Structure 1
Amino acid sequence: MLKKIAELNSGAVLITGDGKRLAKIYINAWSKDGRRVLAEYLPFQVNGDVYIGPPFESDDFDVYLIINPLSRSKAERERLQKWLGEHMDKLILLYEHKYVKDSITRYRIKDFIDYLIAYKRETVGFERVDVMRLEDGRIVESKTYVRRY
């Protein structure tokens, strides 16, 4: 399912739990295809060309990176949800530092995202990645990946 996300042409993907490595892989894969990427700012390094700027003011890009969508004020979250509804034909990566998995159902943004990737680094020497596909705010498919380090 992780590979399927890298091959997306449109939709919204939410990565939670500070999964910088995953977000970096997706941004690099999408920019490598010749797509233009606009990010609010970059909390990690990328290999491709990424423009930095406010995503709500431009419609000229193929991929958008929005940082901490769940940690914003109520007014900013409503503005973001309206913007997501208008840009369903674009590829949008939402990157959240805090960990959210099943509690995504409490947020209205669940209606606008297609995939949720919940990254968690466990204290016993492994990483856990839960990937969920959502349709109309409901989880329809789920898969868990575990990596020891």
Structure 2
Amino acid sequence: MLKKIAELNSGAVLITGDGKRLARIYLSAWGKTGRRILAEYLPFQIDGDVYIGSPFESDDFDVYLIVNPLSRSKAERAKLREWLGSHRDRLVLLYEHKYVKDSITRYGIREFIDYLIAYKRETVGFERVDVVRLENGRVVESKTYVRRY
């Protein structure tokens, strides 16, 4: 399911739990196909060309990176939901530092998310990545990946 996300042409992907490496992999994969990327700012380094600016002011890009969408005020989250609704034909990567998996149901943004990737680094020497496919805010498919380090 992780490879399927890298091959997306449109939709919204939410990465939670500070999964910088996953976000970097997806943005690099999408950038290599010739897509133009606009980021609010970069919390990590990315190979390739990335433009910095507000995604709410430009419709000229193929991929958007929005950082910490769930940690915003209620008014900003409402503006983001409206923006996501009008940009269903674009790729949007929502990158959240805090870990959110099952509690995504508390947020109205869940209706616009196609994939949720919840990254968690455990204290006993492994990483866990839960990938959930959503349709209209409901879980359709789920898979868990575990990696020892």
TM-score, length basis structure 2: 1.00
- The letter for the 2-side match of 1:31 is G
C-alpha deviation, 1:72, in angstroms:
0.1
CA separation in 2, counterparts of 1:35 and 1:83? 20
CA separation in 2, counterparts of 1:99 and 1:145? 16
Instruction: Give the SS at the match of 2:47.
Output: coil
CA separation in 2, counterparts of 1:141 and 1:104? 15
RMSD between aligned alpha carbons? 0.3
Query: Aligned runs of 1:81-120 on 2, under 5 Å?
Result: 81-120=81-120
Unaligned runs of 5+ in 2: none
C-alpha deviation, 1:48, in angstroms:
1.1
Matching of residue 75 in structure 1 with residue 70 in structure 2: no
Share of identical aligned residues, percent? 84
C-alpha deviation, 1:130, in angstroms:
0.0
Query: Where does residue 35 of structure 1 map in the other structure?
Result: 35
Post-superposition Cα deviations, 1:92-129, rounded to whole Å, max 9, x if no partner, equal 00000000001101100000000000000000000000
- The letter for the 2-side match of 1:2 is L
Instruction: Give the SS at the match of 1:78.
Output: helix
Number of aligned positions between the proteins: 149
C-alpha deviation, 1:133, in angstroms:
0.1
4+ residue segments displaced more than 3 Å = none
TM-score, length basis structure 1: 1.00
Query: Aligned runs of 1:1-149 on 2, under 5 Å?
Result: 1-149=1-149
- The letter for the 2-side match of 1:95 is Y
CA separation in 2, counterparts of 1:92 and 1:126? 28
CA separation in 1, counterparts of 2:142 and 2:52? 33
Post-superposition Cα deviations, 1:57-87, rounded to whole Å, max 9, x if no partner, equal 0000000000000000000000000000000
